[in-house]
Chain A
Amino acid sequence: MSNIQKAFSNGKAFIAFLTCGDPDLETTAAAVRAAVNGGADLIELGIPFSDPTAEGPVIQGANLRALRGGVTTDKIFAFVKELRKDVSVPLVFMTYANVVFSYGTERFAAACREIGIDGLILPDVPYEEKGDFLPACQQYGIELISLIAPTSENRIAKIAKDAEGFLYIVSSLGVTGMRSEIQTDLSAIVAAVRQNTTIPCAIGFGISTPAQAKKMAGLADGVIVGSAIVKLLEKHGKEAPPYIADYVRSMKDAIR
Chain B
Amino acid sequence: MTTSETRKGRFGIHGGQYIPETLMNAVIELEKAYEQYKNDPDFNRELTTLLNEYAGRPSRLYYAQKMTRDLGGAKIYLKREDLNHTGAHKINNVLGQALLAKKMGKTRLIAETGAGQHGVATATAAALMNMSCVVFMGEEDTRRQTLNVYRMRLLGAEVIPVTTGTATLKDAVSEAMREWTSRIADTHYCLGSVMGPHPFPTIVRDFQAVISKEIKAQILEKEGRLPDAVLACVGGGSNAIGSFYHFIEDKGVRLIGCEAAGRGVDTFETAATIATGKLGIFHGMKSYFCQDQYGQIAPVYSISAGLDYPGIGPEHAYLHDIGRAEYVAITDEEAVCAFEYLARTEGIIPAIESAHAVAYAMKLAPTMRKDQILVITISGRGDKDCAAIARYRGEDLHE
Tell me the A residues contacting B by CB distance below 8 Å: 49-51, 53-54, 56-57, 60, 64, 67, 72-74, 96-103, 123-129, 132, 146-155, 159, 170, 173-175
Contacts and interface: CB of A to CB of B under 8 A. Distances in A.
B181 A98 contact: no
18 contacts: A51-B170, A53-B20, A53-B283, A57-B164, A98-B297, A99-B296, A101-B281, A103-B294, A123-B20, A123-B21, A125-B18, A126-B18, A126-B21, A129-B17, A149-B20, A152-B24, A155-B24, A175-B181
Contacts of A60: 164
A102 B295 contact: yes
B289 interface: yes
Given A97-B282, A100-B295, A127-B21, 16 more contacts: A51-B170, A51-B297, A53-B20, A53-B174, A57-B164, A99-B295, A99-B296, A101-B279, A123-B20, A124-B18, A124-B20, A132-B286, A152-B24, A170-B20, A173-B181, A173-B182
Give 7 closest A-B pairs by Cβ, nearest first.
A102-B295, A174-B182, A149-B22, A97-B281, A98-B295, A50-B296, A149-B21
A184 B165 CA distance: 31
A50 B165 contact: yes
Nearest to B165: A51
B142 interface: no
Contacts of B284: 124
User: Max chain B CB contacts within 10 Å: which of A49, A74, A149, A151?
Assistant: A151
Contact of A102 (B17, B164, B294): B294
Interface string B267-294: 0000000000011111110100101011
Contact of A173 (B16, B165, B183): B183
Contacts of B22: 149-151, 170, 173-174
Contacts of B295: 49, 73, 96, 98-103
Contacts of B291: 98, 102
Contacts of A54: 20, 178, 181
A159 B184 CA distance: 21
Nearest to A128: B17
B51 interface: no
B161 to A, nearest CB: 14
Contacts of B147: none
Contacts of B177: 53
Contacts of B164: 57, 60
Interface residues of B, number: 37
B171 interface: yes
User: Max chain A CB contacts within 10 Å: which of B26, B178, B182, B284?
Assistant: B178
Contacts of B17: 126, 128-129
B39 interface: no
Contacts of B18: 97, 124-126, 129
A97 B280 CA distance: 8
A96 B289 CA distance: 15
Contacts of A51: 165, 170-171, 174, 282-283, 297
Contact of B20 (A57, A103, A147): A147
B191 to A, nearest CB: 14
A173 B171 CA distance: 20
Contacts of B20: 53-54, 123-124, 126, 147, 149, 170
A227 to B, nearest CB: 14
Interface in B18-41: 18-26
Contacts of A103: 294-295
Nearest to A131: B16
A233 B317 CA distance: 41
A173 B177 CA distance: 12
Given A149-B21, A150-B22, A53 B281 contact: no
Interface in B281-316: 281-284, 286, 289, 291, 293-297
B234 to A, nearest CB: 21
Contacts of B174: 51, 53
B316 to A, nearest CB: 18
A102 B21 contact: no
A49 B16 CA distance: 20
A152 B281 contact: no
Nearest to B181: A174
User: Max chain B CB contacts within 10 Å: which of A51, A127, A148?
Assistant: A51
Contacts of B26: 151
Given A53-B177, A73-B294, A148-B21, A98 B182 contact: no
A65 to B, nearest CB: 13
B19 A99 contact: no
A23 B390 CA distance: 42
Given A51-B171, A53-B177, A126 B184 contact: no
A1 B60 CA distance: 68
Given A51-B174, A60-B164, A174-B178, A128 B294 contact: no
User: Max chain A CB contacts within 10 Å: which of B181, B283, B294, B296?
Assistant: B294
Given A53-B283, A67-B296, A103-B295, A126 B165 contact: no
Contacts of A67: 296
Contacts of A146: 21
Contacts of B289: 98
Contacts of B281: 97-98, 101, 124, 132
Contacts of A153: 25
Nearest to B282: A98
A152 B297 contact: no
A142 B71 CA distance: 61
B182 A175 contact: yes
